[in-house]
Structure 1
């Protein structure tokens, strides 16, 4: 089952938001040697550059959509990225789908759609190594009509958007994780890093 109001947009408008996704990931603290799980990876807009950054550590690209994962497998093969592993599964039971604990769990553009944040965050914590980090990249809580890409409103409905403070409160109430960094990700997003 998909998270509420989340779907895979095309690469064209993602690239208008983030022409350099690898730089975005580095600004959020991703570095060589970080084993990473991307939750709801879609067709790999972040997973592919993450695998280049974290190599030789693995990137587990988790999604419920087998078609998007097949597309990501093709792209990884074409780009000779052999540390990326696609994982078909529901992120609500993340630890069940990973072969090992990870240093970083990343969720991009979908935390607003998580139906049970407490249970979801508990699963993320169970998937993390003892000193692991949880990174949430999400839309600012601005009216949807103000977040345009290619001339059209984009992102979740206004009423689903949650502020960085609300996100931090949800994660911290559900776990021992604490926000240690807040990153502005222009033009419409924020990133929170929890340890």
Structure 2
């Protein structure tokens, strides 16, 4: 099974300059204490760890293909004394095989654009959500890469991989019974869409 395209993990330094408060984005979509969450393509935890603080004592399942990134996540969680994040190594296209339970919220941040065929992934995500669960997609806006700079350097996925919000919505809704309930602009270069069952 091929890996997702262009999902190289940025370092926390420039990511923090671009997006200093990932937890606020998650709170804006109603993430709250006691919920169970899976972050798909979690990398070293830039979203998973703030999510764990928000949902505590709920659990955050942090799924990634890269064992080395999950090791970094575990080390950061230990440093920050976050005990409710569970690293899972595996492919999201078999998500149900990796999760021990259904979840209230699934999050995919800055990775959806790299999925060659989103239909099987979205079907898997819909299957692991509880009856009134939510799916949050955070994505780079469909702007030329040379215009999305951090510290003077072009960042983000190649221009040809970027998806407009309408394209992301169409992909999710075509593959599932999830429906868009909220869309949020996240300056300077991102948007987020929330889909509910």
Aligned length: 195
Q: Which residue of 1 aligns with 2:38?
A: 37
Residue in structure 2 matched with residue 119 of structure 1 by the alignment: 120
5+ long unaligned stretches in structure 1: none
Q: Secondary structure, in 3 states, of the residue corresponding to 1:181?
A: strand
Query: Counterparts of 2:52 and 2:128 in 1: how far apart (Å)?
Result: 18
CA distance in 1, matches of 2:43, 2:29: 19
Distance 1:93 1:13 in 2: 31
More moved, 18-27 vs 66-75 = 18-27
Q: Deviations over 1:121-168 (max 9, x none)?
A: 000011111111000000000111110011111111111111111100
Partner of 2:26, secondary structure, is helix
Alignment of 1:158-177 (within 5 A): 158-177=159-178
Aligned residues of 1:28 and 1:191 also touching (Cα < 8 A) = no
Q: Distance in 2 between matches of 1:74 and 1:144?
A: 32
Q: TM-score, normalised by structure 2?
A: 0.97
Alignment RMSD, CA only?
Answer: 0.8
* SS of alignment partner, residue 16 of structure 2: helix
Q: Give the SS at the match of 2:120.
A: helix
TM-score by length of 1: 0.98
2-side partners of 1:114 and 1:185: how far apart?
22
Alignment of 1:37-116 (within 5 A): 37-116=38-117
Q: Tell me if structure 2 keeps the 8 A contact 1:28–1:183.
A: no
Cα distance in 2 for partners of 1:10, 1:78 equals 17
Any runs of at least 4 consecutive aligned residues in structure 1 with deviations exceeding 4 A, and if so which?
Answer: none
Cα distance in structure 1, aligned partners of 2:92 and 2:180 = 21
| Runs of 5+ consecutive residues of structure 2 not aligned to the other structure | none
Alpha-carbon displacement from aligned partner over 1:16-48 (angstroms, at most 9, x marks no partner): 111111112112321212210000000001111
